[in-house]
Amino acid sequence: MNPGMVKKLQQMQKEMQQAQKELEASIFYGQAGGKTIEVEFNGAKEMQNIKIDTEAFDLPEDIDMLQDTVVAAVNDCMRKIDDETQATMGKFTQGMPGLF
C-alpha cells in the first residue's frame, strides 16, 4: 500500500474516533404516549433521565400500560441513536462493504 493511502486511512481513523466520541457525548430523547413518558440517553446508550407524567396513569391499575409506554419511549430513543450513528459514521464507510 502506498504511503499516501496509509496516511489517508490513518486520518480517516482519527476522524472516525472523534466522531464516535462526539456521538457518545450527545444527548438523545425518546418519548411515547403523547409525551407521558420521556427518556434521555447519551450516545453510548446509557440512560441519563426518565420523566413520567404521573397524572397520565392511574397506578397501580395502569402498571402494564406504564411499563409498555416506558419500553416504547426507550425504543424510540434507541432508534434515534442508531439513526444518528448510521448517518454520522456512514460517511466514513461509504463504499466499504462490511463496515458499520
Tell me: the pLDDT tens digits for 36-79? 999 999 999 999 999 999 999 998 899 999 999 999 999 999 99
Residue 54 lies in a domain: yes
Range(s) of the domain holding residue 52: 23-84
Residue 52 lies in a domain: yes
Residue 96 lies in a domain: no
- How many folded domains does the chain comprise? 1
Rounded to 5°, angle at Cα 74 from 98 and 41: 80
Residue 71 lies in a domain: yes
Per the prediction, the chain carries an average pLDDT of 91
Residue 9 lies in a domain: no
Residue 68 lies in a domain: yes
Rg of the chain (C-alpha set) = 19
The one-letter code for the residue type at 59 is: L
Whole-prediction pTM: 0.83
- Interaxial angle between packed helices 3-25 and 63-93, expressed in degrees from 0 to 180 and rounded to the nearest 10: 160
The one-letter code for the residue type at 42 is: N
Write the CB contacts of 84 (distance below 8 Å, at least 6 apart in sequence). 23, 26, 28, 43
- CATH code: domain of residue 79: 3.30.1310.10
Residue 18 lies in a domain: no
The set of cell numbers assigned to 16 is 472516525
